[in-house]
Structure 1
Amino acid sequence: LSVLEAFKKALHIIRGSYAFALIDSENPDVIYVAKNKSPLLIGLGEGYNMVCSDAMAMIRETNQYMEIHDQELVIVKADS
């Protein structure tokens, strides 16, 4: 089972409000993120991206961000 498959499987089981950011120790340049009824944003930088729960937390780094929709799984990489 890959990390992505395991994360998807876990998300189908979990109920309620959550915001997750998962980093695989064997592939630390990738962050798997998902949320449901909790804030979670992806900040878009030049050559890097970040994940946080509040836009104010990343305002010094970037003013560009994407909102993640409920029950959406996103794969974040430094350059995408």
Structure 2
Amino acid sequence: MTSPSFNPYHEWLGIDPSISAPDHYQLIGVPRDEQNPETISRAADAAMSRVRQVRPGDKSQEWARVLDELREAKSCLTNQGR
């Protein structure tokens, strides 16, 4: 069972621990005004790489969910205006 105080965003991505549900920009670590798809893509890939380096153990569901959220953030932010 996962500890209720475990915050995968903080533990695996270094996001401020007070943020329990980061938006797409916070999740991949880019400013909200970032519009360059290459910059966003590189940041998302780097975040996914950090999470993939984690051995999730009993937190495999959270690990998979965070990776899914990172993929969704990358897709959403790089396809704006299309």
Q: TM-score range by the shorter chain?
A: under 0.3
Point out the structure with the larger strand share.
1
Point out the structure with the larger helix share.
2
